[in-house]
Structure 1
């Protein structure tokens, strides 16, 4: 039996190694090389981050390279679950993977800075700042992405998270006390705890049933993506102006693949990446307005906060950044330096 187990394990390792070796396919014809790369995503193809992110970028790269770069796209978690996509990118089982620092805070803790509340009012401002911090020469690239042997290609900061409830309206932070609220984990846990609620970590795919069955009282999620999970069918109440932070969506390529690509292909990918990141953030901003209308048409009662209401929510979450800095500084990480760098870049964009 032990020999059988060892044999099965050996076959598994061999299979993984073979998959790794074949992730990047290079072929040649008439003296020109063609590069075919695997792209693993956790978003379904209908999600705006797939449409205006991954698929937009792949099309841009293929066109700019005149067909020298092609892709095999695996959406909706076909190759791995969302939280495992970073690992399979690093291992070489895929060349490019969609990931999120929030899902991999053990490996990318400082990069969760983009998810903190009170930093950005809209998607594109956050995207411009995080792009500078996360590409070559930026503090996050040097401190985290480079040591993790990945190279960011697309990065977008989502519009602000709001609350969607199936049980009761949540008009003030006091209304959230004692509730169970779906969280993406990491910094979102800190934010939800700051308003007196209990965070529950569930995947986006589980939100619909969780709201419908009352597993959670509410979910924290941006309107721009919420309709992709049909939440307008189960959410009876919503907020606009709670501004509970953002979420950093990231597509990265492994250094193993990146270093095999010619410089001109690398340049095409990065130019397409910056263009895609700004295209995606604007699409998400635009989508927020249309999706709020969609929710209202479906019967969701959305409380739209005035300046006083927005200020109350901001005050309730004002201590989250300090807690984030304390948490990671205690681990010997330059968390305050990252916050200071973010603010400096943001001021330079004004």
Structure 2
């Protein structure tokens, strides 16, 4: 009997051994390097002061200062933005032969979501609700509104005519975002208020402004007098839903006059809404904008500069996320497009804008 049991045991071990040899090793979870990620930026540096200390008016975007404020007011926002960045990097890594080595989210190295992300490669249609707070009826004309929508469709479909002048070292990096914007609604309100500031008062009916319209399915743009020489500001993915969208000064919305009258302030701010940082990363040469194909720089460029070199590389001054005049910015990069596309994947923060996968 004992010999029989030994034979049965040996046979069982042999079968298990053979079957285990046939099994492929379990796939290793994708590791994503998050060691360089940051949310707070030092807005007290000369980078910000340069925008107002010159005799000629320079582009002044308030987005990063707004982000710092929201982080202070919302204790969970930093963790939420970390998760969005992790999903973004995982999405980008999935487009490459292998992931990037490093630590995972919040100290671990396991993929928190083993389900694969489903990308969306078709045209993204974004309804735009234009919330206008004007000092008198018709201060912002329908022609001005339509011109802004047309400009956005040019810029996010690589149809800006100035793109043909891209220098040789950047021309192969120009991206077509394949995003179509259309005017969903225009909401107007007359107010005698001369300046709305940057604390989102224009986004609240209780404070005299206009509440956001279904921000999960609409891009809300508030057009009003901001004040302080600020052209506009945006909210990054992850912020409070009730304030999600971008704010544009009346004089910089659509086709108007001046160096910032070609509607590119909206393009720049919507770039932030699509999770893009400023081209120089809002820091020195050791700080990046989290995009592989944009050169490192230590600050913004203004006016229409010629070839500019900083941090040992030639600046991409014509990128929509720099601070140059409207007529001199005309491109997003392939890397920027990939970063923004992650938002519309099945597990992306703005996947609600896509009807089906």
Fold shared, TM-score > 0.5 on shorter chain = no
TM-score range, shorter chain: under 0.3
* TM-score normalised per structure 2: 0.23
The answer to which structure has the higher strand fraction is 1
